[in-house]
Amino acid sequence: MKLFEESKIGMLSLKNRLWRSATWLGMANKDGYVTDAVKKQYKKLAEGGVGSIIVEFTNILEEEKTYPGILSISSDSHIEGLKELADIIHSNNTHAFIQVGYGGSTTSIPENGRVILGPSAVKNPGSGITPVEMTEKDIEKIIEAMAQAALRAKKAGFDGVQIHAAHGYLYSQFLSPYFNRRMDKYGGSIKNRGRIFIETLKRMKTTAGSDFPVFIKMHSDDEWAENGLSAEDSLWIAKELEKHGIDGIEFSGGNIDPQSGNGASKPKLHKVEKQSYFKDQVSKIAAHLHVPVILVGGNRNVKLMEDILNHSNIRYFALSRTLHAEPDLPAKWLTSPEHKPRCVSCNNCWAEGGNICIIDRKKEKQI
């Protein structure tokens, strides 16, 4: 098998096995609407040759403000702009998906009197925010908002939707023993901690249609000892999602505790042996699954990815920082597989006013 070959997921025909992993750009307006800057960035990505694009983490509730400049899909008024975005992506024979979720206490915006929900009232080690413990009514509100977001994504012309259940946001918190200390049916055993996942998937499929693809991004392992999601529990919930019709799983890892040193975006990846850094734990989980598995995290070498492709049950590879630096990286790899990405994994993509490669930011200042 090769990276640059056609494949199918359900009824979707994908032109290659490369995905753009959902990555916050910070370029939407203050109300979460699509701007010209957002459209410009996704046009570059679609023209760059990647097979599928997952549009960045998008708010499902109007009162939710996870990050500055984050997109929203919280009301029907956002559909028009999102449709323009999907059309731009599709015009380049690229599939368009959109990621939806609730940030909760993993946010960079101060509380300022707003209510921030969490599975339990536990202080977030990253933001320092202690959320309000959710009632079952709150959980129902989130599930319904996720379902309505899926329906809006369908109306906007996207090929599918992705649940964000990784990187310390609300859904990943439900799986974590550190964040989830509930004593009701949503806490305790992995079955209970994963209940919101199954209920959300079922509601999305009922609301948007059973044929509308729903993917999920989750962790293979939080690398956080007893505080985090274990590989065993990750496999359990992945198999349950598979039973209930999930269309594909993108696996990440790491945690948001700055003291652990095990974040999801690892630096200094110039050596091949440090790349595709979640491959071992994801390969073990993928061996037990039938749904398509997407690997994210340090994928930047064609030979290594094709080796993983042919010696594991991982079938797709998602890129984030590398496409921040080089939107046309897939096109370069297609003609020159030995091409070394410009990205050096410095993690300096993120800045006020829009998240782009630090090299491009410096060039803009010089103009």
CA angle centred on 359, ends 356 and 363, rounded to 5°: 100
Q: Which among 328, 331, 274 has a CA at the least distance from the CA of 304?
A: 274
Contact of 85 with 96, CB cutoff 8 Å: yes
Q: Which helix (H) or strand (E) holds 137?
A: helix 136-155
Q: What share of the chain is helix, strand, coil (3-state, %, to 5)?
A: 35, 15, 50
Q: Which among 24, 23, 5 has a CA at the least distance from the CA of 14?
A: 5
Q: Which helix (H) or strand (E) holds 218?
A: strand 214-219
- Virtual torsion, Cα 345, 351, 356, 359, nearest 10 deg: -70
Which of 42, 102, 169, 316 is flagged as catalytic? Answer: 169
Quickly tell me which residue has 């959300």 as its tokens: 200
Runs of H (alpha helix) within 133-226: 136-155, 170-175, 190-193, 195-208
Report the C-alpha gap between 357 and 142 in whole angstroms: 33
169 part of the active site: yes
CB atoms within 10 A of CB 111: 13
Q: Which among 80, 85, 111, 107 has a CA at the least distance from the CA of 96?
A: 85
> 210 exposed, middle or buried (CB, 10 Å; 0-12, 13-18, 19+)?
exposed
Contact of 39 with 6, CB cutoff 8 Å: no
Query: Which neighbouring-strand residues pair with 7?
Result: 14
Q: Please give the structure tokens belonging to residue 306.
A: 């094709």
Rg (CA), the chain: 19
Q: Which helix (H) or strand (E) holds 42?
A: helix 36-47
Report the C-alpha gap between 104 and 61 in whole angstroms: 11
Q: Which residues are catalytic?
A: 169
